[in-house]
Amino acid sequence: MENQIKVEKITVKINGNTILENISFNISLPKFTTIIGPNGAGKTTLLKTLVGLIKPTSGNINVLGFNPIKDALKLRRYIGYVPQRERIELGIPVKVKSVILMGILCRKKPPRIVTRRDIALAKEALLKVDLEELWDKQFSELSGGQQQRVLIARALATKPKLLLLDEPLSAVDVKSQWEILETLKKLEKDEEIGIMLVTHDINPIVEYTDEVILLNKRIIAKGSITEVITEENLRKAYGPNVRVVTSGTICYAITGDVHA
């Protein structure tokens, strides 16, 4: 297994519309990488392309030594994917432990029977996000931030080398954002799990990310946060009406983006 993500000139078209255009980058793992950009920039599409859910129209991708389309089953053993949060059906009562075990079971061949080892892995994953006390609780009764951390635990239960998270910070309060980011940074530092996080809001990740990719259909900039978050780059990504606040050497963007 290689500790790299290599993306070479990928273009993704959906129904004739170009969603991503000529995207190239290399990332050596483990590293904390953030993909930022406005609504509709193609952030989710890029993540889905990396995990093999979308086939690029042209270009080459290699994730951990695997082609996400051709080697989909092998790659799935090494990556954890936390999709952009959909509304969880509140009518169906699911316990936290079931949410995590589902992540383990869906990777098994039938018959999908929960073993003692699966339970141990699930508990270990919940411990890693510091929520072990919620094992027997109803998922729907948790706060948004706790739900997000349980979903991270579900992705961790299969012991990935790379964790891809789509907007894990949206719709959670500032304290939960901090807890999620602390958890992710710890996973990167202590367990050498590569983190790739998508956000439309740069501000929370300033202190955590090693590298930033600013995306709006194309890559506008890539590098350290101070290299990428400049007034010029932000205006290119968010348009001329973005308000930029500078604090020290770092710019913060105030945009009109809305998010559920």
Ligand X SMILES: Nc1ncnc2c1ncn2[C@@H]1O[C@H](COP(=O)(O)OP(=O)(O)OP(=O)(O)O)[C@@H](O)[C@H]1O
Q: Give CA–CA dist 168/199, Å, rounded.
A: 8
Between 19 and 157, CB nearer to ligand X: 19
Determine, following the binding rule CB under 6 A, whether residue 41 of this chain makes contact with ligand X: yes
Q: Near ligand X by CB under 6 A, which window of 37-45, 75-83, 206-214, 246-254?
A: 37-45
Determine, following the binding rule CB under 6 A, whether residue 239 of this chain makes contact with ligand X: no
Q: Which of 29, 30, 37, 128 binds ligand X (CB under 6 A)?
A: 37
Residues that bind ligand X (rule: CB under 6 A) add up to a total of: 13
Q: Restricting to residues 174-233, name those near ligand X by CB under 6 A.
A: 200
Label residue 203 exposed, middle or buried (CB < 10 Å: 0-12, 13-18, 19+). middle
Structure tokens at 221: 């900039």
Q: Which of 26, 39, 58, 226 binds ligand X (CB under 6 A)?
A: 39
Q: Residue 19: name its binding partner from Mg ion, ligand X, none (Cβ under 5 to 8 Å by kind).
A: ligand X
Between 121 and 215, CB nearer to Mg ion: 215
Q: Near ligand X by CB under 6 A, which window of 21-29, 43-51, 103-111, 243-251?
A: 43-51
Cis-peptide, bond into residue 111, ω within 30° of zero: yes
Least Å distance between CB 46 and ligand X? Answer: 7
Determine, following the binding rule CB under 6 A, whether residue 44 of this chain makes contact with ligand X: yes
Label residue 92 exposed, middle or buried (CB < 10 Å: 0-12, 13-18, 19+). exposed
Q: Give CA–CA dist 62/241, Å, rounded.
A: 37
Q: Near ligand X by CB under 6 A, which window of 14-22, 85-93, 142-150, 230-238?
A: 14-22
Burial 67-80 (b: 16+ CB within 10 A, else e): ebeeeeeebbebbb
By DSSP bridging, strand 218-223 and strand 211-216 are antiparallel
Cis-peptide, bond into residue 68, ω within 30° of zero: no
Structure tokens at 157: 């239960």
Q: Which of 19, 27, 33, 44 binds Mg ion (CB under 5 A)?
A: 44
By CB under 5 A, name the binding residues for Mg ion: 43-44, 84
By CB under 6 A, name the binding residues for ligand X: 14-15, 19, 37, 39-45, 84, 200
